[in-house]
Amino acid sequence: MSFEISSNITEQSPKLGGFAGVDIPNYDFITNCMHCGLCLPTCPTYSLTGLERSSPRGRIRLIKSVADGELEMTQTFIDEMNFCLDCQACETACPAGVKYGALVEAARAQIFQKRVLPLKERLLKWIFLKNVLSSKWKLKLTAGLFRIYQQWGIESVIKKSGVLKIFSSKLNDLQALAPRIDTQYSDKIIPEILKPQGTAKYRVGFLSGCLMNVAFAGINKDTVDVLLHNGCEVITPREQECCGSLQAHSGDFETARRLARHNIEVFSKYELDAIVMNSAGCGAFMKEYGHYLNDDAMYAEKARILSTKIKDISEFLIGIEFRIPTTQFNKRVAYHDACHLAHAQKISTEPRILLAMIPGIDLVELPEASWCCGSAGIYNVVHYDDSMKLLERKMDNVKSTEAEIIVANNPGCLGQMQYGANKFDVDVEIIHFSTLLKRAYRLEN
């Protein structure tokens, strides 16, 4: 993801229209679009509706109309900005290099500031994104209560009773989409400092994340074990918080910047060769800390320095003396490209190269591997029906590979595709890249 926002309004279009304040869409980015249409075949929402306004160039035209004062911030405008998955596949296809992700996220920031979203959606974002996910103790408290709900039989009783259908026919489906809360969180099972056997070749930081910490602790442990096996000393700071990506993608730049400043302070205490990510969305956002805090005199330089250290686990491993597994791994495997890894970070060949090094692996290509699965943060909650159409397309492609295992580098994709495997009856295991590597190394827990 490449993101730039200017707080100097005089550098933008003199026709600010319905946009105001600091975080306004960059007018140069808007006018870079040639409206050639090469983005259209890559856009998931355009594929669903066939409407020009639901395409990247259509949304850019809407943003320009508001910036030029030709269009009010109508409900159609608001709906289209939020209908977008922000997968940024259009950026990969764009010959002019239009920063579409920056534009749509800045437009969402304007919508967020004006508080013109429907009340239900505003409450959802205020409760979960602004408050729960952005606070470690609130998240742990909420996760603990939800774990009781999931593991003490309450969830099963409510599901069987059908009571949720009284409120909405989709609540049972949404309940099944919720991540399973772990019995032990990763910040309890992963010590703050871990050293490898023998001499450490590298010293890396590790982001345990927010939802990753409470619902994907096993993946975090797998990632740390793989790093240790490759000669890394791993530091997982206890004081770290949510990276801020979900908040920024939803338009709450204020909370995102607050979290970014906190994490910069936490990780900057250590001399690190890299800060390793196992979540594509987190990695993409933290690589842009320098852009989000560009106008912050106290944090701009710190943010730029930290952003250069952010590495996806596959990106990091391919840049070091990777320890190739030595035992046969006789499984048929396909790789799914998470949007914020393939399109935002431009990392696609690295995980495939590493997977191909595993002895005995039958690595097959997944058709439309970089087509969005429909997770996209909270998209599968607020746009459930559209998300399921995209998921069905993804699972049809998965089924065609006859793979035993599908690998992905993002928790949202893992949860969405596991839900899809159950919903569309596809016999396949969905696991994280780190988990597969740990199995290939035959490391014990």
- 434 is a domain residue: yes
pLDDT of residue 10: 31
List 277's β-bridge partners, or say none: 312
Q: Give one DSSP letter per residue of 343-371, joined into a string.
A: TSS---HHHHHHHHTSTT-EEEPPTTTTS
State the Cα–Cα distance between residues 13 and 198, nearest whole angstrom: 58
- One pLDDT digit (tens) per residue for the chain, 445 residues: 444 443 333 334 444 567 877 788 889 999 999 999 999 999 999 999 999 999 999 999 999 999 999 998 889 999 999 999 999 999 999 999 999 999 999 999 898 888 777 777 777 777 888 888 888 999 999 989 989 988 888 877 877 776 666 666 666 777 778 889 999 999 999 999 999 999 999 999 999 999 999 999 999 999 999 999 999 999 999 999 999 999 998 889 999 999 999 999 999 999 999 999 999 999 999 999 999 999 999 999 999 999 999 999 999 999 999 999 999 999 999 999 999 999 999 999 999 999 999 999 999 999 999 999 999 888 898 899 999 999 999 999 999 999 999 999 999 999 999 999 999 999 999 999 999 999 999 986 6
190 belongs to a structural domain: no
Residues 410-423: tens digit of each pLDDT: 999 999 999 999 99
**Residue 211 within a domain:** no
Residue 73 included in any domain: yes
CA distance 294 to 7: 9
- In three-state secondary structure terms, 236 is coil
Domain final position from 69, 95, 117? 117
pLDDT of amino acid 167 = 60
User: Which of 96, 117, 138 delimits the end of a domain?
Assistant: 117
The answer to whether 378 and 250 have CB atoms below 8 angstroms apart is: yes
Residue 236: inside a domain: no
* Cβ atoms 420, 391 nearer than 8 A: yes
For residues 199 and 47, give the distance between their C-alpha atoms in angstroms, rounded to a whole number.
Answer: 52
As a whole number, the mean pLDDT across the chain is 90
* pTM of the predicted protein model: 0.91
Q: What domain range is 60 assigned to?
A: 9-117
Within a domain: 284: no
User: Can you give the CATH number for the domain in which 26 is found?
Assistant: 1.10.1060.10
Distance CA 239, CA 74 (A): 42
Specify which residues 180 forms β-bridges with.
none
> What's the token pair of residue 191?
């010590």
Write the CATH number for 338. Answer: 3.40.50.1860
Query: How many domains would you assign to the chain?
Result: 2
Classify residue 14 by burial, with Cβ atoms within 10 Å: 0-12, 13-18, 19+: exposed
- Helices 75-83, 100-114: crossing angle, 10 deg rounding: 130
pLDDT at 173: 74
Angle made by CA atoms 29, 34, 38, in degrees to the nearest 5: 110
The residue among 63, 98, 117 that closes a domain is 117
